[in-house]
Structure 1
Amino acid sequence: MMKKSETVSSFQMAMLFLAYGTGSAVINIPAPLTGAARNGAWISVLLACAAGLLLLFACLYLYRANPGLDFIEHSEKTIGRWLTLILAIPYLCAVFWMLAAIVIDIGIFFKSTMMKQTSADLIHTLFFVLAALTARAGIEVMARMFVLLLLSMIGFIMIVLLMAAPHYHPYFLLPLMPDGIKPVLHGAYIAYGFPFAEASLFAMMLPYVRNQDKHVLGKHMVWALLVNGVTLLASVLCSIMTEGPLAGHMKFSLFQLARLIYIQEIFERVESVIGFSLIAGSYMKATIVLFILSKTLTRLAKLQDDRILIYPIALACLLLSVTMYRNETEFIEGVNVIWPLLNNIAFNVPLILVLTVTLFKRNWRKGRPSPAPSP
């Protein structure tokens, strides 16, 4: 059993999950998704969201099977410690890469839009310092803080989408699938890999929910994922209706959309609002991933102090973020092509394996005849 003094409500956990799932995806995904699926990009979002729901149901089932255990502890109980350690190797490698990639992405955004003369290394360092300080403060601080940041981020995005309404051209949505179903499936592959396939990581967080809220956790988590899907769907649709065929070729398409807003010299240059949303989303997601990575290593190493590894992990990921990629093209290819496949291998294969063994053991116990009563 995990002994934790910190707990959060089911609503706060759902908000953390929404911040983790939405994060930077709502700003980053519309462009590559539309580039792959074209007018059918919104269908790709629906397919990816459905796959994300299945992964979330798997995490919730494991949580209900052993409410006090996180995924690592549940895996050790189900398939043994040594097999868990073997499966943890690609899992940890992928999470380290994921954390570094989140900060690389925000560095690319700053260098290409708002702070072109600022060193990317400085941006990465500041982000990791903030993420490490917040993660070390604990999940309760994160939950209280991120609710306000998340509501502000989503509110700003929705305001920008509404203010851009005069620039929408619904006829850009047609024809629906000009090149058939294959591009839509390609888009679903991209959207599934980022952010929906990452839902399985949250199996490490669920045991922090208070006992009195456990009965409503599933409902809140499902609603959070659906809100994530709707937000991403709205961003994709608005990007297509505004930019048409160019939507797939413009980086940070929501940022470009915000630049079009001009209302009687009162509202203009509101793209900084979208910039804030991306910064806030990336910061929240980086902090949550750092927290999960620290907890995972702590459980595997059987350490007593849950926070002792946060600063070393942040330093290691900072070094990764400044050395992994030589240019932006390599990074984009890694996110859109390699990351969805790596997600399935590193995160979802262990989840499905542990789920399968858990179901098999439960069915075997139910089918086993009860011992005869002694005379």
Structure 2
Amino acid sequence: MWKLWFLIQKERLKMKKEKTISSGQMACLFLSFILGSAIINIPQPLVQAANNGAWLSVIIANGLAMFLLACVFYLYHKNPNFNLIDCSQKMLGKWITLGIFIPILFLLFLNLSYIVIDIGGFFANAMMRETPVYVFHVLILFVAALTAKAGIEVMARMFVVLLSYVILFSVIVLVLALPYYHVENLLPVFPEGVKPVVHGTYITFSFPYSELVLFSLLLPFVHKEKEKSLKKKMFLVLVIHEFLLISAILCTIMALGSLAGTLKFSLFQLARLINIREIITRIESFIGIALIVGSYMKTTIMLFILKETLVKVFKLKDDRIIIFPVAFTSLLLTLTMYETDIEFGEAVFIVWPLFIMTVVVLPFLIITAIALFRGKKIETNHDSY
């Protein structure tokens, strides 16, 4: 009897490892990850930093992101079973790899907590002010944990519909706000010189573009027979993201003027302006739901990435059992790290960019450079996923 139970568990583990998704589904997850709540969260701090040149910051940051993505696919094509942890261990050794990925684990916990704190703050400040913020944190982490536990196939199928909702209602708001646009608000492009544009590039590249290095840990889940078009679709996602983000920034600047850099959730504020003959009004709730949905998708994907990283670094046998402990740990972080919105804002826009550049982007570029100089195929373990 015990032998039969062991064989059943072994077969279940084997079936879990064989779960794969198509290249199109992976591209959808990628767009959900980098778009998520960025289309609503990014315009305000970016306009505050880069003024009217915020859209130029997006273009430059997107170009840097394409370079990072090219590095990801360079490593990916050197080994069909690409895994960044395996590559690092092969080229840098076990202990250096452990020294690199322990800080990345802390960063993943912080990132997951930041997303939840952000959506909780939106609920508490804009929609349900009488409800304690921890209620929102518990709900979104619980639902995200259930989704991540269901597996990447379920996430890929579900997020196609949810992503369509986020994009659709964001575009509808931008179109309906057309009467409030004033093109003259876009000038001058460089009111304070080029320095603010560079600052804006630094902010935008750190969030969300540099996070694509973390997302690359999911690439082994693409079905080997369907990965030929993956590179093209992933680069197309960056182009779509750039277009949507620039559109949101330009529209908020044209409608809100100088207030675009001071009003948080500026796309939400833009939706509040819409009042067409008292028939189409109060549609900011749709943008609020889009923000919630986008944050939920990114929370789920980040939780799944964190789970996979923990499994790989510590060589755990059962990966599903750690999802709820990880979510609970993140919940405790959301409730104890910051007491005010000002502290959270400083952590996100001052500490986070430097942290992710140092802990994620720099080691990734070093690994890529070593692989380039060696110029040969990287052989990694096949029990990664």
Report the TM range for the smaller structure's normalisation. over 0.9
Instruction: Tell me which amino acid in the other structure corresponds to 1:100.
Output: S
Give 1:28's aligned residue: 41
Query: Matches of 1:148 and 1:276 in 2, distance apart?
Result: 14
Contact 2:78/2:376 (CA < 8 Å) preserved in 1?
A: no
Comparing 117-126 with 333-342, greater Cα deviation is found at 333-342
From the superposition, tell whether residues 111 and 283 of structure 1 become closer, same or farther in structure 2 (CA, over 3 Å): same
Give 1:88's aligned residue: 101
Equivalent of 2:141 in 128, 141, 147 = 128
Instruction: Tell me which amino acid in the other structure corresponds to 2:337.
Output: M
Contact 1:42/1:237 (CA < 8 Å) preserved in 2?
A: yes
Give 1:310's aligned residue: 323
Comparing 207-216 with 98-107, greater Cα deviation is found at 207-216
Q: Do residues 63 (structure 1) and 76 (structure 2) align? A: yes
Q: Do residues 19 (structure 1) and 27 (structure 2) align? A: no
Query: Matches of 1:28 and 1:363 in 2, distance apart?
Result: 42
Q: Do residues 172 (structure 1) and 173 (structure 2) align? A: no
3-state SS of 2:109 partner: helix
Identity percentage over the alignment? 49
What CA deviation, in whole Å up to 9, does each residue of 1:200-237 have, x standing for no partner?
10120001001111111100101111111111111100
Give 2:295's aligned residue: 282
Comparing 351-360 with 240-249, greater Cα deviation is found at 351-360
Contact 2:79/2:377 (CA < 8 Å) preserved in 1?
A: no
3-state SS of 1:309 partner: helix
Give 1:183's aligned residue: 196
Where structure 1 has 5 or more consecutive residues not aligned to the other structure, the ranges are 366-375
User: Deviation of residue 361 (structure 1)?
Assistant: 1.4
Give 1:373's aligned residue: none
User: Deviation of residue 140 (structure 1)?
Assistant: 0.1
User: Deviation of residue 193 (structure 1)?
Assistant: 1.0
User: Deviation of residue 136 (structure 1)?
Assistant: 0.4
3-state SS of 2:269 partner: helix
Give 1:270's aligned residue: 283
Flag as ranges the 4+ runs of structure 1 deviating above 4 A.
none
| 1:328-367 mapped onto 2 (5 Å cutoff) | 328-362=341-375
Report the number of matched residues: 364
Give 1:372's aligned residue: none
Query: Matches of 1:153 and 1:66 in 2, distance apart?
Result: 35
Equivalent of 1:200 in 191, 208, 213 = 213
Give 2:231's aligned residue: 218
Give 1:326's aligned residue: 339
Equivalent of 1:296 in 309, 326, 347 = 309
User: Deviation of residue 255 (structure 1)?
Assistant: 0.4
How large is the RMSD of aligned CA atoms in angstroms?
Answer: 1.4
Instruction: Tell me which amino acid in the other structure corresponds to 2:360.
Output: F
Query: Matches of 2:229 and 2:82 in 1, distance apart?
Result: 18
Query: Matches of 2:264 and 2:102 in 1, distance apart?
Result: 33
User: Deviation of residue 10 (structure 1)?
Assistant: 0.4
Instruction: Tell me which amino acid in the other structure corresponds to 1:21.
Output: I
Where structure 2 has 5 or more consecutive residues not aligned to the other structure, the ranges are 1-13, 379-385
Contact 2:48/2:262 (CA < 8 Å) preserved in 1?
A: yes
Give 1:261's aligned residue: 274
Equivalent of 1:161 in 174, 186, 200 = 174
3-state SS of 2:301 partner: helix
User: Deviation of residue 363 (structure 1)?
Assistant: 6.4
Comparing 95-104 with 303-312, greater Cα deviation is found at 303-312
Instruction: Tell me which amino acid in the other structure corresponds to 1:306.
Output: D
